[in-house]
Amino acid sequence: MSTVRVIGVDPGSATTGYGVIDSDGRRYELVEYAGIAGPKHLTFPERLLQISRTLEEVIARLNPHACAVEDTFYAVNVKSALKLGQARGAVLVAAARAGVEIFEYSALEIKSALVGYGRAEKHQVQEMVRVLLGMKDAPQPLDASDALAVAICHINTASTRARLSKKA
């Protein structure tokens, strides 16, 4: 497998995390990660615009081959679920506008791919991200750590699919 670059995104209405990783299917190399959190005085539509613009800039600058996004399945209440869905929409539009192929993974799939257990705690996922990327400290904010986990999940899934298709 040649080297691929994947941007992982963990959408959030307060903070959206992103992380970019290069991989040959066996090793991972951290490129960049951060959280996108707008000032509190911004309206929600302005925060969505900031998420979209920031991701468009990152995608244009780093040119990933794929965009892996965490699929939301749970929220505390309906209003939170709607805001989270709108943040996901801003992410999906930014990637689609850039022409990057989009892949979506549930939290269960991500945790299983990284920790081997779909009900793993957030700190377990964060620690596995730190270990796999050879980082001294766990990536912060947690949203960025989760985004890196989504990228690693995609790399593992795509690598496994590629190996299985060669055997078929």
Residues annotated as part of the active site:
10, 70, 143
- Cα separations (Å) of 76 from 79, 83, 84? 9, 11, 11
Nearest CA to 30 among 124, 152, 114? 152
Instruction: Report yes or no: 113 and 148 within 8 Å, Cβ to Cβ.
Output: no
CB atoms within 10 A of CB 146: 26
The torsion angle over the Cα atoms of residues 116, 20, 103 and 108, rounded to 10 degrees, is 20
Q: Say if strands 4-10 and 66-71 run parallel, antiparallel, or are unpaired.
A: parallel
φ, ψ dihedrals at 45, nearest 5°: -60, -35
Instruction: Report yes or no: 4 and 131 within 8 Å, Cβ to Cβ.
Output: no
